[in-house]
């Protein structure tokens, strides 16, 4: 039961709402499998996962194919005010915030203080977006986790790279700037799979130290187990979004 609870909590730290970092990481294609074998597994819908230890905390990564265009998957990620509708377990709140709110909450320990600062303001997650550029955004997430894990909240700074958007290539990296998680950072990359603009190859990596005193081997186990679950959510919501009438967005 304890292992299931810990893995469940880690799923929340590695799911799609967790996006941002002050500088882009340089993701490389996985080298653990021969190229032909790796591509064949991806064609069959398999999800490649890996994970390991850091000096403090653990890392995990995954790679898989999504049956939707990269620009649709990208829209899914950047629309922070919609994340709560993706049916992620225990996600109480998610929203875009301004740089002023992100900086003002950096020293807060309690989520109540964050909400007092935020007030009733609502921010556009794409307010800084400019086509063919790299732009920054900030996002807030709050999770009501099952006992014995305490509730977690965080504000993330995201660096969103659309410089190759015309080719269907998008990148994002992120890092925690406020909240009660010790460290959290990562990246993802989207690109057409085998040149097909209707299918997306996604590479995703996360590094985390929740600061909860959980043994590293359980953290590593939880991250590797949670990533495929996150991919299933991304696949489901991307297909759903692709089948909806396209709104007028700056991403288009």
Burial class (CB in 10 A: 0-12, 13-18, 19+), 57: buried
pLDDT of residue 85: 86
Q: Set out the domains of the chain in order of their start, with CATH numbers.
A: 2-242 (3.30.530.20)
Residue 58 gets which letter from DSSP? E
Distances (CA, A) of 87 to 20, 32, 151, 234, 240: 21, 32, 18, 11, 13
pLDDT of residue 80: 93
User: Cis omega (within 30 of 0) on the bond before 18?
Assistant: no
pLDDT of residue 110: 95
Whether the pTM exceeds 0.85: the reply is: no
d(CA 126, CA 123): 9
10-residue block means of pLDDT along the chain (252 residues)?
39 38 35 80 92 84 95 94 82 94 97 97 95 96 78 94 98 96 93 97 89 65 72 91 66 41
Task: Give how far the C-alpha of residue 42 lies from the chain's centroid of Cα atoms, to the nearest Å.
Answer: 20
Q: How many residues does the chain have?
A: 252
């Amino acid at each position: 039961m304890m292992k299931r609870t810990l893995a469940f909590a880690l799923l929340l730290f590695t799911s799609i709402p967790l996006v941002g970092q002050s500088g882009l990481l340089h993701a490389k294609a996985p080298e653990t499998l021969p190229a032909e074998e790796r591509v064949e597994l991806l064609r069959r819908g398999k999800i490649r996962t890996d994970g390991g230890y850091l000096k403090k905390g653990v890392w995990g990564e995954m790679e898989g194919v999504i049956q939707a265009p990269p620009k649709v998957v990208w829209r899914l990620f950047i629309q922070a005010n919609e994340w709560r509708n993706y049916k992620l377990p225990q996600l109480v709140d998610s929203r875009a915030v301004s740089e002023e709110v992100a900086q003002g909450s950096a020293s807060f320990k309690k989520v109540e203080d964050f909400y007092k600062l935020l007030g009733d303001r609502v921010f556009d997650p794409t307010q800084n977006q400019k086509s063919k550029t790299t732009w920054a955004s900030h996002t807030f997430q709050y999770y009501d986790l099952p006992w014995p894990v305490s509730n977690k909240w965080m504000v993330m700074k995201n660096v969103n790279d659309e410089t190759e958007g015309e080719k269907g290539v998008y990148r994002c990296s992120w890092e925690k700037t406020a909240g009660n998680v010790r460290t959290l950072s990562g990246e993802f990359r989207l690109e057409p799979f085998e040149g097909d603009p209707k299918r997306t190859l996604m590479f995703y990596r996360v590094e985390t130290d929740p600061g909860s005193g959980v043994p590293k081997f359980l953290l590593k186990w939880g991250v590797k187990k949670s990533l495929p679950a996150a991919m299933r959510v991304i696949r489901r919501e991307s297909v759903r979004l692709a089948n909806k009438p396209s709104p007028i967005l700056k991403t288009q």
